[in-house]
Amino acid sequence: MRRANIYSGGFLALLGLAMILFVIPAQIEEGPAGMMSPRLVPQMIMGLMTALSVMLVVRNLMLPDDGEGSPVSRSEYIALLKIGSVFALALVLFYFAGPLWAGLAIVLGSLLALGERRPLVLVLMPIALLAGVWVLFYRVLGTAIL
Amino acid sequence: MTLKRRALLALAVAATGLAALPALAQDYPNKPITMLVGYNAGGQTDLVARGAAQVLSQELGQPINVVNVPGAGGVVSAKKLQESPNDGYTIMFHANSVVNSAPFLMKRVDFKPDDFEWGGFITAYQGGLVAPADAPYNDLAEFVAWAKENPNFAYGALSPEARMYMNEIAKKNDLKANIVPLNSGGEMINAILGHQVVMALSGGIHAKYPDQIKMLATLTTFRHSNAPEVKSIDDFGYSLAMDTRAGIMAPKGTDPAIMAKLSAALAKCETDESFQKIVAAANIPIIYMDAAAAKAEMEATFAKNGEIYKSAGVEPQ
Amino acid sequence: MQALIGGFAEVFTFSTMFWIVTGVTVGYILGVLPGLGKATGVAVSIPLTFYLHPVAAIAMLIGIAKGSTAGGAVSAILLNTPGEPSSAPTALDGYPLARQGKAGKALKMGLYASVIGDLLSTIVLIGLAAPLASYALLIGPVELCAILVFSLTFIGGLSGKSLIKGLIAGCLGIAFSTVGLEIETFIPRLTFGMLELDDGVKLVPMAIGMLAVAEMIVQAGNIRKLDAETAEIGKSNRREDRNLSLEDWKVCAMPIIRGTFIGTVIGILPGLGASVASFLSYGAARRAADRPEEFGTGRIEGVAAAESADNAVIPSSLVPLFALGIPGSVIAAILIAAFVLHGLTPGPLMFKENPTMVAAVYASMLCASLAMLVVGSLGQPIFARIARFPIRLIIPGVLLLCCVGAYMETSSLFSIYIMLIFALIGFFAKKFDYSFVTFLIGFVIGPQVELTFRQSLQLLNHDPTRLLQHPIAAVFIVITLVTLVLMARSRRNQPEAPGVATTKSLNQGGEI
């Protein structure tokens, strides 16, 4: 965890600084006089976070190297990529083809991405899930979500 | 594609469109209608909207699906409505403050009444300035007199409008007010019942507590159904009354014939028993306006509210 | 007492019982489904109740509220997807238990803790509604601010292996909670011009993204190992993994009692809500435990503490409603409409004008608690089968439910984007071991602290000496200071190695 702490702490410290110096002044206006400034709490909390992150980095730098690698394994990065692509595809389909296709893409896409190849499952599961959602909202609850 | 062919094509499309239009309005509706509501499910406006949807679907013979699109007091929902096709199958049930108030308070909102078609209003909100029932003042004039003796009193405000009212009253009478921000109607009731604030602006929820809360002045031009003796803030010499009504709006360019159908169906709410029950439970009066009256009301209140906010020096944020 | 017996007589009719059970069942199912909550359920059902007898109508609505709160635990335990935001802490230990093959045990404890918390809190409502309510009004913004600041000290106890990282996560939570219109000046903060952010980042899509979607991604990355484990779960069908032992009851007794107490008190205080209660109760159980570092790896007390508090909030949040007509929660606010619709005006007069009706409502609430036990017991074996499916079949279904749940909240794709962004944050937070609990506490309590502080400034007229007129607040400020000093001392006495926590195995790390 030592190296992970140094990297993540460094990242968060930089993020905090960027928020204080650039984002908060640009995104939050000064309030009228006589009221607590709307910037106060975000600035305070980002300052605290930056300080804590610096502390995390410093304290871990003082520890001996524990030889641990990245806490995220290769297969986890691949999974992130796979699921991310499934969502990206679903979003594109949502805009250009409609919600039904997006839902189909999520179920079918993730089934395929995770290595499911049995045709029966690939056909039945999306149908069953989407039909279930439809029955629940449009029939049972009598409300529309789309 | 040559220019000529393109023009011809456009003409053809326009022609078929024209031919189709009357038929469209005549069959309307021949499929379910989506009704957007810009507040969360379970709120007062949502309850009224669902009640109205019931009546509309009986009248029009098609199901009406209520979809809650909360955000920024209905602005998010109204923007979604603007982007929807103007075929009459996407309408919105909401408070008209989203058009006649929001643009003056929010920099990023530039709605005007003629950005939408108006299908009539069915209910009105009964806002007022309220105080604990045992307070030593009974109307706004008495409150002002009391407040002069008791500077730094606490006033509860849950919206920019509410701040504006107190600022205007304070400016005119040289009062010193501490304005306490409140998050919700429930919190406002708490603050009044717990005597943490001496006065607050209520959107109408106070009517549920007739024995514990009294109204000092209405913020509407009309007298309230549940407290007809209370005078309007205009009667106390401020000219700040702003009416807010709930009803149907549709994307710009929706066929007037469709709007007329919706407006006629909405009128049936007036006599529908279960709708009456719903609004009575929420202490909301039914004040019907048809499509034409609604449009005129929007033009008038938009100009009036803009003037009020401007003279009060309220800058859109 | 006489009235209560009369009330029971009114409730023990076939139709009333039928509607109570229906309400609980519908609620339970809604609770299991992420994103569909009690507010939606009750709001959609109110029009249905026009056609019912008033007692049956109100009983059904309260049944929905109770059932969905209990149901939230099921998906939290089985899928790491809290069905209701307030069930998020249940997932922290419930899900590891399910992965160890002890889903049956965790589900049972979740249900029993819910029922006990609910029942006791209902009894508090019945016994104390009128006398307690007069005190509720003593708690104004100034007092609430002091109490909230005190509760923030719990973050220290909750932050897991590294205090610094826990605090960093808490800061991030507060930072995200400041997004949206600031309530006093109405100036938008960090919205980047997006109107959808004016009301802030919504808890449901955020929690779904951070907890469920992130978890599914991690699982997808470890699919082989998990499938092997699932096969193990399938083989080891041990009785003791499905049932609660005397030992389990012994360790859970105190957390349940404490959780019920916390939930009941928080329910009576207006505006805090079930999420705050379940997190505080979970934190308190962890602090009280002899080996707090084991929390998050599948301690049954974690489930018991969170669920008992979660469910205890529902009945007690009706105390201010019944006694004063003040809604103490969203659900109470929605119920007002239903009460009035059926000719009952909530408030002190209700007890005088309609004693039998009030008694009938009380009786039906007690019945709903028991109905919850029956419905839950019958439903659990069906739901528990989910845990036996291979992961690659579960993930697609959960991802779809996540999308539907997140979408539901605002009926727009915007929530889906929020969910995806927080899925990414959640993924890295999980792998780099930043506490999700402190993040959420910061997110939930942060804005309340700021608002009540702003209110206090105005109410005290910017004059700190006026605090003396608020003794309750003063007491809590003192307690907070003492707690901080004590915590600082105990930390100094046992220096911790910062961040040497390791997530050796996916499921031993626990901290989400």
What CATH number does the domain containing B40 carry?
A: 3.40.190.150
A39 within domain boundaries: yes
Contacts of A138 in chain C (CB under 8 A): none
Contacts of B47 in chain C (CB under 8 A): 43, 46, 337
Which of C140, C195, C340 lies closest to B108 in CB terms?
C195
Inspect the interface and report whether the beta carbons of C217 and A76 lie closer than 8 Å.
yes
B44 touches chain C (CB under 8 A): yes
CA distance C339 to chain B (A): 9
pLDDT value for A97? 87
* CB of C290 closer than 8 Å to CB of C84: no
Cα(A20)–Cα(A51) distance, integer angstroms: 12
B19 within domain boundaries: no
**Start-to-end Cα distance in chain C:** 48
Inspect the interface and report whether the beta carbons of C195 and B76 lie closer than 8 Å.
yes
Q: Which residue has the higher pLDDT, C109 or C269?
A: C109
CA distance B108 to chain A (A): 14
pLDDT, tens digit (0-9, with 9 covering 90-100), for B173-216 = 999 999 999 887 777 887 888 888 999 999 888 887 888 899 99
Last residue of a domain, one of A62, A85, A101: A62
Cα(C55)–Cα(C309) distance, integer angstroms: 27
Question: To probe the interface with B, which of A27, A143, A145 has the most B CB atoms within 10 Å?
Answer: A143
Contacts of A42 in chain C (CB under 8 A): 175, 178, 189-190
Cα(C48)–Cα(C60) distance, integer angstroms: 10
Query: At C328, is the pLDDT very low, low, confident or very high (cuts 50, 70, 90)?
Result: low
b (16+ CB within 10 A) / e for A70-90: ebbeeebeebbebbeebbebb
Last residue of a domain, one of B188, B220, B236: B236
pLDDT, tens digit (0-9, with 9 covering 90-100), for B15-70 = 444 444 444 677 888 888 889 998 876 677 888 898 899 899 888 888 888 888 88
CA distance B68 to chain A (A): 8
Contacts of B37 in chain C (CB under 8 A): none
Q: Which domain does A105 fall in, by range?
A: 74-140
Number of domains composing chain B:
2
For tokens 């009459």, the residue is B88
List the domain boundaries for chain C: 2-235+252-509
Contacts of A146 in chain B (CB under 8 A): 67
Pure H helices in C236-354? 239-242, 246-268, 273-288, 300-316, 319-324, 330-341, 348-353
Residue C346's closest chain B neighbor by CA?
Answer: B208
Inspect the interface and report whether the beta carbons of A28 and C392 lie closer than 8 Å.
no
Indicate if A78 and A58 belong to the same structural domain. no
B316 touches chain C (CB under 8 A): no
A22 within domain boundaries: yes
Indicate if B288 and B262 belong to the same structural domain. yes
Which of C185, C222, C498 lies closest to A59 in CB terms?
C498
SS3 B128: strand
pLDDT value for A10? 95
Contacts of A130 in chain C (CB under 8 A): 400
Q: Which residue has the higher pLDDT, B233 or C32?
A: B233
C28 touches chain A (CB under 8 A): no
Cα(C434)–Cα(C167) distance, integer angstroms: 9
Cα A56 vs. chain centroid, distance in angstroms? 23
Query: At C110, is the pLDDT very low, low, confident or very high (cuts 50, 70, 90)?
Result: very high
Asked if the model's pLDDT at residue C326 lies above 70, the reply is no
Indicate if B164 and B75 belong to the same structural domain. no
H-run or E-run covering C121: helix C103-136
Q: Which domain does B146 fall in, by range?
A: 128-236
> Which segments of chain B are extended strands (E)?
33-37, 64-68, 90-95, 116-124, 128-132, 153-157, 177-181, 199-202, 213-218, 245-251, 286-289
Query: At C496, is the pLDDT very low, low, confident or very high (cuts 50, 70, 90)?
Result: very low
* CB of C133 closer than 8 Å to CB of C319: yes
Residue B192's closest chain C neighbor by CA?
Answer: C137
Indicate if B227 and B259 belong to the same structural domain. no
Contacts of C501 in chain A (CB under 8 A): 1
Give DSSP secondary structure letters for C324-348: HS---SHHHHHHHHHHHHTT---SH
pLDDT value for B8? 47
User: β-pairing, B213-218 with B153-157?
Assistant: unpaired
CATH code (residue B173): 3.40.190.10
pLDDT, tens digit (0-9, with 9 covering 90-100), for C216-246 = 898 888 888 777 766 666 555 666 677 788 8
Residue A12's closest chain C neighbor by CA?
Answer: C168
Task: Give percent of chain C with pLDDT exceeding 70.
Answer: 79
pLDDT value for C245? 82
Contacts of C452 in chain A (CB under 8 A): none
Last residue of a domain, one of B236, B266, B286: B236
pLDDT, tens digit (0-9, with 9 covering 90-100), for C198-211 = 888 887 788 778 87
Indicate if B49 and B190 belong to the same structural domain. no
H-run or E-run covering B126: none
Which DSSP category does B227 fall into?
B
Residues of chain A falling short of pLDDT 70 = 139-146
A67 within domain boundaries: no
Asked if the model's pLDDT at residue C160 lies above 60, the reply is no
Inspect the interface and report whether the beta carbons of A72 and C497 lie closer than 8 Å.
no
Which of A49, A60, A145 lies closest to C171 in CB terms?
A49
Last residue of a domain, one of B236, B270, B290: B236
pLDDT value for C62? 86
Q: What tokens were used for C158?
A: 């909750």
Inspect the interface and report whether the beta carbons of A110 and C191 lie closer than 8 Å.
no
Contacts of C420 in chain A (CB under 8 A): 87
* CB of B282 closer than 8 Å to CB of C340: yes
pLDDT, tens digit (0-9, with 9 covering 90-100), for C371-415 = 999 999 998 888 777 666 777 888 888 888 888 878 876 778 898
Q: In C, residues 371-410, which contact A (CB 8 Å cutoff)?
A: 391-393, 395-397, 399-400, 403-404, 407-408
- Chain B touching partners, 3 or more CB pairs below 8 A: A, C
